[in-house]
């Protein structure tokens, strides 16, 4: 399992006092209010930055890091990603998982037949959709709902699913 979880990326600077606009990559954008520090991936190292202030602007989170008081001090970090350690991550409810933990799981059906490997989680309005690449290179799209996802075992690297009627065509691909 990944020990660092990506929570955002610095999109640009904001003003001249060292603030940055962060594009959030987390379900709970308010998580930045409870977070005291982040890890900034500079490209060479992961540097700890302490959050001084948090506010919001459209789809962005405006962050001010302690010790970065001018645009010149923070400008070099545009485009860089921000992470939290697993111990500083938000608490998950039962049957909730970090996307980073789901990517790479081997997916099996109810009869223990290997369907493929989970490649992506597509976030939609109603529910997430899991993109599974079969061993033949086809894509299966599985809705992340209780009727379809039977068991997720991150430690074992496995997911068991029920293929809903009409979900696959005759070739084992997602029905279009």
Domains annotated for the chain, with CATH where assigned, are 4-88 (2.40.30.60), 99-161 (2.30.30.240)
Confirm if 46 and 38 have CB atoms less than 8 A apart. no
pLDDT of residue 92: 78
Mean pLDDT by 10 residues, the chain (176 residues): 83 94 87 90 93 93 95 94 85 82 93 94 88 92 93 93 80 60
Helix (H) or strand (E) holding 100: helix 99-102
Tell me which residue of 36, 27, 41, 51 sits closest to 79, measured CA to CA. 41
Tell me which residue of 146, 144, 141 sits closest to 168, measured CA to CA. 141
pLDDT of residue 152: 94
pLDDT of residue 91: 77
pLDDT of residue 72: 94
> Distance between CA atoms of 8 and 77, rounded to whole angstroms?
13
């Amino acid at each position: 399992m990944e020990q660092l979880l990506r929570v955002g990326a610095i999109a640009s600077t904001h003003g001249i006092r060292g603030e940055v606009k962060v594009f959030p990559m987390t379900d709970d954008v308010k998580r930045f209010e409870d977070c005291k520090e982040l890890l900034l991936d500079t490209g060479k190292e992961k540097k700890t930055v302490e959050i001084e202030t948090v506010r919001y602007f459209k789809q962005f989170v405006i962050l001010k890091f302690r010790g970065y008081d001018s645009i010149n001090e923070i400008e070099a970090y545009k485009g860089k990603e921000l992470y939290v350690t697993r111990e500083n991550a938000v608490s998950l409810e039962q049957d909730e998982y970090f996307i980073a933990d789901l990517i790479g799981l081997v997916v099996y059906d109810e009869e223990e037949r290997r369907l493929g490997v989970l490649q992506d989680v597509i976030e939609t309005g109603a529910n997430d959709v899991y993109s599974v690449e079969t061993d033949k290179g086809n894509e299966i799209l599985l809705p992340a709902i209780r009727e379809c996802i039977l068991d997720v075992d991150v430690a074992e690297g496995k997911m068991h699913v029920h293929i809903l009627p009409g979900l696959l065509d005759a070739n084992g691909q997602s029905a279009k």
